[in-house]
């Protein structure tokens, strides 16, 4: 509260919007809506809450200063539109890297692996206007002190957008694994996806896992852009090869032990 007060400084005026139109007489409207009984606005309160899914919670957290206030929210008149318009007021995300907390729009991924349909479709789900919720008007002193920074990271960080592997990417992955094996994903990444910033070696490892699975199930159970059976065959082949390759490499400790086991 202190931090918000400091930021708002001169004060805050909350406009009541109805279907995008500003309501002139707020007090009158509140009375008509049965929210207020008249001039006694003292017993009215409000809370500023982010839309859980669309917008991460605004946390007063020193480690994440960029989460405080979007530049467009701190306008000269210190006026905040609590009811998002059609635009949502986030049209400047692409031009404000530091404030980008919605998604990885700025990933400069020039897929060396030419993938035709690489249209990143971002959910433009329109924010919904939440109905009013009764909130017990307890005194400020008795409000529960909730740790401002105590919010799991998983709640803050935006999950990376899904990017299905294209056939050409699978091709590149298979070729790299055939050469390097299934235990050097860092090298595989560098070899075949060095300039695909959104593909991490963990992603490649995961993709290989799903590829092996895909190759084992019936074509009818497979989903997404169908991968050529020929490629899937290479997957199983490479998988089998490197599997026993690793088995040989182990043999407990070495050739010497192999003799002792006889």
Q: To the nearest whole angstrom, how small is the minimum distance from the Cβ of residue 81 to DNA?
A: 30
Structural contact between residues 194 and 112, judged by C-beta atoms closer than 8 angstroms: yes
- Interhelix angle 201-216/185-192, nearest 10 degrees: 100
Per CB under 7 A, residues contacting DNA are 153-154, 157, 159-163, 182-187, 198, 201-203, 205-206, 209-210
Residue with tokens 């199983």: 236
Q: Which is nearer to DNA, 159 or 223 (CB)?
A: 159
Q: Which is nearer to DNA, 66 or 163 (CB)?
A: 163
* β-pair partners for 22: 17
Q: To the nearest whole angstrom, how small is the minimum distance from the Cβ of residue 104 to DNA?
A: 9
Q: To the nearest whole angstrom, how small is the minimum distance from the Cβ of residue 142 to DNA?
A: 34
Q: Which is nearer to DNA, 30 or 212 (CB)?
A: 212
- CA 242, chain centre distance (Å): 35
Q: To the nearest whole angstrom, how small is the minimum distance from the Cβ of residue 162 to DNA?
A: 5
Structural contact between residues 231 and 174, judged by C-beta atoms closer than 8 angstroms: yes
CB-based burial label for 227 (10 Å; 0-12, 13-18, 19+): buried
Q: To the nearest whole angstrom, how small is the minimum distance from the Cβ of residue 169 to DNA?
A: 10
Q: Which is nearer to DNA, 60 or 161 (CB)?
A: 161
Rg from Cα positions in the chain: 28
Q: Which is nearer to DNA, 135 or 190 (CB)?
A: 190
Q: Is the dihedral of CA 139, 142, 144, 147 positive or negative?
A: positive
- Count the neighbouring beta carbons within 10 Å of the beta carbon of residue 186: 14
């Amino acid at each position: 509260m202190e931090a918000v007060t400091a930021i708002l400084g001169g004060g805050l005026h909350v406009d009541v919007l109805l279907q995008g139109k500003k309501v002139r007489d707020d007090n009158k409207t509140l009375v008509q809506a049965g929210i207020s009984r008249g001039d006694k606005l003292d017993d009215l309160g409000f809370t500023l809450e982010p839309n859980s899914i669309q917008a991460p919670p605004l946390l007063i957290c020193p480690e994440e200063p960029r989460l405080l206030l979007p530049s467009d929210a701190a306008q000269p008149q210190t006026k905040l539109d609590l009811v998002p318009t059609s635009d949502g007021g986030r049209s400047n995300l692409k031009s404000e890297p530091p404030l980008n907390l919605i998604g990885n729009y700025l990933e400069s991924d020039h897929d060396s692996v030419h993938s035709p349909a690489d249209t990143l479709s971002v959910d433009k789900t329109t924010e919904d206007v939440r109905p009013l919720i009764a909130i017990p008007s307890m005194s400020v002193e008795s409000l529960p002190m909730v740790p401002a920074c105590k919010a799991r990271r998983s709640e803050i960080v935006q999950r990376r957008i899904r990017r299905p592997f294209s056939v050409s990417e699978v091709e590149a992955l298979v070729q790299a694994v055939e050469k390097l094996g299934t235990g050097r994903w860092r090298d595989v990444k560098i070899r075949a996806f060095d300039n695909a910033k959104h593909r991490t070696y963990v992603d490649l490892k995961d993709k290989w896992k799903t590829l092996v699975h895909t190759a084992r199930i019936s074509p009818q159970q497979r989903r997404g852009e169908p991968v050529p059976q020929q490629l899937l065959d290479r997957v199983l082949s490479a998988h089998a090869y490197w599997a026993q390759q690793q088995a040989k490499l182990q043999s407990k400790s070495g050739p010497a032990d192999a003799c002792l086991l006889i």
